[in-house]
Copies of this chain bind each other. A is one copy, B any other.
Amino acid sequence: MPKQGYHHGNLKQALVDAALRLIEAKGPSGFTLSEAAKQAGVTPAAVYRHFAGRDDLIAEAARQGYVIFADVMQDAYDRGQPSALASFEATGRAYLAFARHYPGHYIAMFESGLSVNRTPELALVARRARAVIEQAAEDLSQHIPPDRRPPAAMFSAHVWAMSHGVVELFARNSPGTAVPFAPEELLETGIGIYLRGLGLIAPDT
């Protein structure tokens, strides 16, 4: 590790961490390069030793988020195996857990207006995350009679949409909507009803 014991030690990661903290606290537009540099105890100009500029810093934060996200999803999937249903439900829960535990990353990834196609590297890791969700959906779809089986990509999209919606509307305080349900409970019941609609779990459980 050649970057040990230099002037700062590990400024690059310190900047990413500061950026994540700022994004979490003040939203994607509240983040500024200067403030991140300040929090890392460094001059704004120092940032340019490690990043091409402001957008590049956000992109790196998002990239790290996608890596964690993909790992977390994969882990949930694996732990649900060999049951397709358990894997599928676990990925749904993991989605929400990720949003709660890594709000800075989540915002950088999904609310910063950042395009996933910004760099090939970013696109790649985002694709890996999506692949896990779609694999879980694909596995599960095998349990539906082929003639009335919706495309796996479709119901992975449904679950993703509901998860994302729950996060945006109810796991943040933004629109001031105080619904008397915990986000976890909402997502759990929502996906439960949805899966029942697919005939994948018993109708009177």
Contact = CB atoms under 8 A, between A and B. Distances in A.
A141 to B, nearest CB: 12
Nearest to A27: B113
Contacts of A72: none
Interface string A99-119: 000000000011101111100
Contacts of A166: 161, 165
Interface in A91-143: 109-111, 113-117, 123, 126, 130
Contacts of A165: 160-166, 168
B189 A154 contact: yes
Given A150-B189, A164-B169, A157 B181 contact: yes
Given A165-B165, A168-B164, A169-B164, A158 B175 contact: no
Nearest to A110: B175
Contacts of A117: 176
A164 to B, nearest CB: 4
